[in-house]
A and B are shown apart, each in its own frame.
Chain A
Amino acid sequence: MTTETTATRTAAETPAPGVRVIGSGASLWSRVPWTLIIFVFACAVPWIGSRYNAFLAEQIAIDALFAVSLNLLLGTTGLVSFGHVAYFGVGAYVCGILMKTYSLPFVIAFPAAGLGAAAFALVSGYFCVRLIKLYFAMLTLAFSQIIWAIAYKWNDVTGGDNGLPEIPFPNMDWMNSLPLVGDLKTADRFYLLSILLIAMSLAIVHRIIRSPFGRVLTTIRDNPERAAFIGVNVRLYQLAAFVVAGTFAGFAGALYGIFSRGVFADYVFWSKSAEVLIMTILGGMDYFWGPPVGALALVWLNQEITDYTEYWPFVLGTILLVLLFAFPGGILGGLDALWSRARRVRRA
């Protein structure tokens, strides 16, 4: 029973390590600097779109970073975490508490959020990586619920049930002197700051996945036993991946707290972990850009559908069913299959 459900995947199923690129064989397509184009486009949103567009774009970007950090565990290392929202929440609360209660500047609060999340990931991860598969998922869920219980009940620090409303925006007066940016409102300035920080974070995660360290993580995902045989300290690497993933989730949480003007215990409830898992799977967990695509698709769909009906969870559940049974590779997995089929037809 257990052997057939094993998470190890054979090399034949996932030929490329960790990060796959759609249509990587097509030269013209792959020479276009897509990442740069997307970044420039994202930065231009406050000028070319409405405030509402920028609001959506920021939500997508933050969710994208959160999902990418989860995918470092899920797609790259092969660890199914069902409590990733804990680190997002720790980041949001650390940043929120430092900025609101202690009036510290963003320059201190933001790195502190990452550090706080990393520290909690180190402690909880130390125990989690000792367990395998379902037990790992359950212990991560348990830790995230501990954070939820603290957030919900520790009124003096976290605001308990009421949360921490009205977290101040960072001081962005330094932008005054910049051309174009000087005329923007605070929310749009924070949008630019977030996009910048998220782009940098994504670049770092991308670099980590492509590094020798990332390759070892992929090896562990594909076959932990063999990785151990060639001398890899599997638990240590898994723990390192866990801490890195936690750190970036913490950054995403810190931005989200300021973006949504408050931090509430609801952010840390276990169902949020399921939502970010859905984003990751929806985009395609075998691809670096899978989670961002999933975030884009879900946030956009949510906006479109909630205009017509209040039953968004029903729609999301149905999407998830279709995904699980028909497109387990997610959006990018489906596109990739289409692409390679088209190429094969063209060659024949």
Chain B
Amino acid sequence: MPPESDKVVALRRLLDERFPAARRRESRAIPTGVPALDRLLAGGLHTGTLTEFVSTAASGGSQSGIGSLLLSTRLARQRVALIDAAGSFDGGGFDDDALAHLVWVRSNTLNDCWRAADLAARDPNYAAVIIDVRGRPERALLRTRDSVWIRLQRAAEQAETALVVQTTTPLVPNAARRVVFAAPLTGGALTQPRGKLLAAIEPELQRVRLREGIA
């Protein structure tokens, strides 16, 4: 009897043969501008997938990574939606022109956050949707229904949007990639040029869960 993994591979092959059209569309990568992150993510955030940024360190650099993503998408003139569950985004760290492509959504409750994310994720006008749920109680986050993630996944696939979920604890069961920011920044980071700081951020790839058609 073949081992379980062989059975799964055989089943996938069979399904591919019978339903070749069911394969996912080609996914595009949106560079984040953080060298180590782009390396781990094989070029950047992939459209049609969920990527999870888990900040286990208090100052692990994930917010700076998101800032870099905002600048990178700004240069490419791609629209980005930021669903901010705790209203913690600091626009003061950017010049006005740097955020001309951003739609910032501050939600009052976690439920509103999921509803807003669901709406933004299905809009093909957004190249990326960032869902930042840090600052919300972990217990409430862990009670998130699986159907929320499934809907977000489907919406991202259909609208060809890259979804990023920023959390403090692993949360997204269907994340294609999970990156952990565990190494804290040093005090010297406060005076470093931003470019040098981003080059020093070293996140870890904790999980890769790819589907057909995704690089």
Q: Do A and B bind each other?
A: no
